[in-house]
Amino acid sequence: MSAPLLAIDAPSLLYRAFFALPDSIKGADGKPVNALLGATNLILQEVTAREPRAVVLCLGPDAADYRVELYGGYHAERPEVPADLAPQFAAAPKFFDGFGWTVLNHDSLEADDLLGSLARLEMDAGGRALLLTGDRDMFQCASEAVTVLYLSTGVKGAQEVDPAEVERHYGVAPELVPDFIALRGDPSDGLPGAKGVGEKTAADLLRKHGSLEGVLDAAIAETRPKLRVALLDSREELLAFKHIATLQDAGIKRPPDRATDRAGGAAAARKQGMNALAKRLEAAED
Ligand code: MN
Ligand code: MN
């Protein structure tokens, strides 16, 4: 089987590593490098295990403009990037490029959309993609050709999420994850969902009617009065939530093969004052 593309949700990994590892891990300038170190370790673990044809890190704004325009509450409660994390975000593109990893940045869409676009490109080309992330939004990408490597904690390895696992977890197939999010809501993204609708009801409705549009079209015949009102009253809002939760085409090209460069990574690590990491990479070289 052909080697997979390994696509990384860089903001997700940097955040997770930042909160999982102590800020006493400092670099050359005396500032914390815990997020860079933790993210690198997570990526290297997957590179070693899966031998990808290329590694692509995705970056982008926290909230795409179109999503905020559709719903003002989207990501509205997200705190600022912590002061000790911001410089690590800034250093990330150059640092990871040293490892032979390609860094993609989108100026208006989110890292999520880049990951989704990479998955689609890989699938269309007959390849395979692995998406390393701590964000369940990416479950919508799972398919025969695309596996989500889901990080439920900051430091442990990833869990493989395939379409069957998405179905076990949410009760719906990956294609219906945006519909599911729209109905159930997603507090971490500031999306309230339909009033009174939890996971079970959302999945039941979608299994019965096939899509959010199907659920809304059938709402007039819903026998539970509160549910009927909730669906009928917030039709437009729920459709907007689905559009928000649906990954958008980032208009990118399929990345070429590119090998991980452990010597280059060691040099990048030394430059950041991450000497233990540099030594480990140099030892793995020979
Ligand atoms: Mn989300
Ligand atoms: Mn997301």
The Å distance, Cα 285 to ligand 2 centre, comes to: 35
Ligand index nearest the alpha carbon of residue 177: 1
pLDDT of residue 155: 59
Largest Cα–Cα separation, the chain: 69
Residue 162: C-alpha distances to residues 147, 155, 167, 222 (Å):
5, 21, 9, 33
Residues 159 and 83 in one domain: yes
The Å distance, Cα 110 to ligand 2 centre, comes to: 8
Residues 142 and 254 in one domain: yes
The Å distance, Cα 153 to ligand 1 centre, comes to: 16
Q: What pLDDT digit, counting tens, does each position of 50-92 carry?
A: 999 999 999 999 999 999 999 999 999 999 999 999 999 999 9
The Å distance, Cα 41 to ligand 2 centre, comes to: 22
The Å distance, Cα 250 to ligand 2 centre, comes to: 15
Ligand index nearest the alpha carbon of residue 116: 2
Residues 31 and 103 in one domain: yes
Kindly report the pTM of this predicted structure: 0.96
The Å distance, Cα 75 to ligand 2 centre, comes to: 10
Is residue 259 a contact partner of residue 100, using CB atoms and an 8 Å limit?
yes
Is residue 266 a contact partner of residue 285, using CB atoms and an 8 Å limit?
yes
Is residue 138 a contact partner of residue 115, using CB atoms and an 8 Å limit?
yes
The Å distance, Cα 262 to ligand 2 centre, comes to: 30
* Mean pLDDT on 215-221: 97
Beta bridge partners, 9, equal 58
pLDDT of residue 1: 67
Q: What are phi and psi for residue 7, nearest 5 degrees? A: -105, 135
Domain interval for residue 38? 5-171+248-285
pLDDT of residue 284: 83
Is residue 191 a contact partner of residue 74, using CB atoms and an 8 Å limit?
yes
Residues 51 and 156 in one domain: yes
The Å distance, Cα 109 to ligand 2 centre, comes to: 11
Residue 223: C-alpha distances to residues 185, 220, 231 (Å):
22, 8, 12
Residue 245 CB neighbour total at 10 angstroms = 22
Residues 86 and 188 in one domain: no
Only one residue has tokens 């007959």, namely 126
Q: What pLDDT digit, counting tens, does each position of 183-198 carry?
A: 999 999 999 999 999 9
Q: What pLDDT digit, counting tens, does each position of 41-57 carry?
A: 999 999 999 999 999 99
Residues 70 and 120 in one domain: yes
The Å distance, Cα 46 to ligand 2 centre, comes to: 21
CATH code for the domain of 36: 3.40.50.1010
SS3 for 5?
A: strand
Residues 136 and 163 in one domain: yes
Q: Please give the DSSP secondary-structure letter assigned to residue 191.
A: B
How many domains does the chain divide into?
Answer: 2
Selection from 127, 170, 133, 130 nearest residue 147 by Cα = 130
Residues 133 and 219 in one domain: no
- What is the C-alpha separation between 163 and 24, in angstroms, rounded? 40
Band (154; pLDDT cuts 50, 70, 90)? low
Is residue 7 a contact partner of residue 158, using CB atoms and an 8 Å limit?
no
CATH code for the domain of 181: 1.10.150.20
The Å distance, Cα 95 to ligand 1 centre, comes to: 27
> Across the chain, what does the average pLDDT equal?
96
Residues 222 and 159 in one domain: no
* Mean pLDDT on 114-136: 97
The Å distance, Cα 189 to ligand 1 centre, comes to: 5
Ligand index nearest the alpha carbon of residue 138: 2
Residues 197 and 235 in one domain: yes
- What is the C-alpha separation between 125 and 59, in angstroms, rounded? 23
Residues 189 and 66 in one domain: no
Q: What pLDDT digit, counting tens, does each position of 3-18 carry?
A: 999 999 999 999 999 9
Ligand index nearest the alpha carbon of residue 188: 1
Residues 166 and 253 in one domain: yes
